[in-house]
């Protein structure tokens, strides 16, 4: 699949479609060089990776959202930058370096801009499902501080990762994986792409912001409810996702960010610039103008601060997992303990008395 995709890109380069993005056909298929090396197996070919047939999101529509976000991008996005910084800070806690890394969709521009040598990364592959977003990333490359970092750009889908197994040392996804139809399957592919002792870092949105306001407005204006908010993972699910995907030493933590807007409509515009608007398959294709205005009014009446600003809380779930390696710490088998918690408790109690 990856080889045929490389042929398509090379053919489109010859027709002029990719001449601005890649300087040559060879450069156009560099991102697929993992595929051309012999008869290597790929992440999408593993058993069980594509086991989920349930489709929740319209991936074609999400790609269009990413196209629009590439056009709308401009200026500083404090929320996205904060999430990217917090995600990359985890690399500073690691003693090992990661020479080859893959950055998956989402807020990849912030990751590339803020990485600043962290993790000892020498080669960074930037992948997005939107060609326009990849072009935007390529065209803004000169704005990055760490221009000595070798950066490759490719168009690819997180649900069908076109990467050879055991070829990467780090996979980073900042605010992108929550749009996949099979999140465990996508995470399994990320693990397969990693070399042993490789690191997986991801930040996804959690919680149910705006759902109540839109529901109330639709009930009032249209007499029914159409799905407007995408289902987001809960904190309790994140650890299970890492374990199900086969990661060792799973770690999960949560941050909440409150962003203040002049109006609820400005909030919606912010979501558009991030590519975070509704992509449910069962959505209503038309959001009526009066329903949109009613939603904004309901949200403002429920959540507006005294100064008139509209606060919106984003819950971000950070996930960390490692591909198994013999050098990693392992938990002892059940029943192997030589001391009970009761003994420990009695020990501390005796120290308090003395």
The DSSP-derived string for 132-165 is HHHHHHHHTGGG-S-TTSEEEEEE-BTTB---BT
CA distance 261 to 312: 8
What pLDDT is recorded for position 36?
A: 33
Residues 127/103, Cβ–Cβ less than 8 Å: yes
Over range 216-236, report the average pLDDT. 55
Give 189 or 294, the one with higher predicted confidence. Answer: 189
User: Does the reported pTM lie above 0.85?
Assistant: no
Give 57 or 212, the one with higher predicted confidence. Answer: 57
Over range 119-138, report the average pLDDT. 94
Give 101 or 142, the one with higher predicted confidence. Answer: 101
* 3-state secondary structure labels for all residues of 193-219: HEEEEEEEEEEEEECCCCHHHHHHHHH
Per-residue pLDDT of 289-318, as tens digits, reads 776 677 677 777 777 788 888 888 888 999
- Of the given ranges (8-17, 114-123, 208-217, 332-341), which has the lowest mean pLDDT? 8-17
Question: At residue 281, does pLDDT exceed 90?
Answer: no
pLDDT-derived band at 343 (thresholds 50, 70, 90) equals: confident
CA distance 291 to 288: 5
Q: What percent of the chain has pLDDT over 70?
A: 73
What pLDDT is recorded for position 285?
A: 62
What pLDDT is recorded for position 86?
A: 96
What b/e readout covers 227-258, taking b as 16+ CB neighbours within 10 angstroms?
Answer: bbbbebbeeeebbebbeebebbbbebeeeeee
Question: At residue 59, does pLDDT exceed 60?
Answer: yes
What pLDDT is recorded for position 78?
A: 92
What pLDDT is recorded for position 208?
A: 52
Q: Which of the given ranges, 138-147, 169-178, 235-244, has the highest pLDDT on average?
A: 169-178
Residue 19: CB atoms within 10 Å: 14
């Amino acid at each position: 699949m990856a080889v045929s995709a490389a042929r398509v890109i090379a053919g489109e380069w010859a027709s002029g479609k990719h001449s601005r993005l890649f300087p040559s056909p060879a450069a156009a298929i560099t991102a697929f060089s993992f595929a051309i090396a012999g008869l290597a197996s790929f992440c999408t070919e593993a058993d069980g990776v594509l086991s989920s047939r349930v489709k929740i999101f319209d991936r074609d529509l999400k790609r269009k959202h990413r196209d629009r976000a590439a056009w709308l991008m401009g200026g500083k996005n404090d929320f996205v930058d904060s999430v990217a910084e917090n995600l990359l800070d985890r690399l500073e806690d690691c003693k090992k370096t990661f020479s080859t890394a893959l950055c998956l969709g989402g807020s990849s521009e912030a990751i590339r801009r803020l990485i600043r040598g962290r993790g000892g990364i020498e080669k960074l592959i930037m992948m997005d499902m939107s060609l326009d977003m990849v072009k935007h990333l390529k065209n803004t490359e000169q704005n990055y501080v760490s221009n000595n970092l070798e950066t490759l750009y490719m168009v690819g889908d997180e649900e069908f990762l076109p990467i050879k197994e055991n070829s990467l040392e780090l996979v980073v996804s900042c605010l992108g994986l929550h749009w996949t139809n099979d999140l465990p399957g996508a995470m399994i592919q990320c693990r397969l792409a990693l070399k042993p002792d490789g690191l997986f870092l991801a930040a996804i949105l959690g919680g149910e912001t705006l759902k109540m306001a839109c529901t109330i407005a639709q009930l009032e204006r249209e007499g029914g409810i159409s799905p407007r908010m995408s289902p987001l993972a809960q904190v309790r699910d994140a650890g299970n996702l890492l374990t199900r995907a086969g990661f060792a030493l799973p770690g999960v933590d949560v941050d909440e960010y409150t962003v203040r807007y002049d109006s609820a409509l400005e909030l919606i515009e912010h979501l558009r610039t991030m590519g975070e608007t509704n992509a449910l398959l069962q959505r209503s294709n038309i959001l009526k103008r009066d329903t949109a205005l009613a939603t904004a009014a309901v949200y403002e009446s429920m959540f507006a601060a005294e100064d008139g600003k509209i606060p919106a809380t984003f819950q971000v779930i950070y996930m960390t997992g490692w591909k198994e390696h013999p050098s990693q710490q392992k938990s002892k088998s059940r029943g192997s303990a030589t001391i009970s918690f009761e003994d420990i408790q009695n020990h501390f109690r005796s120290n308090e008395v003395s």
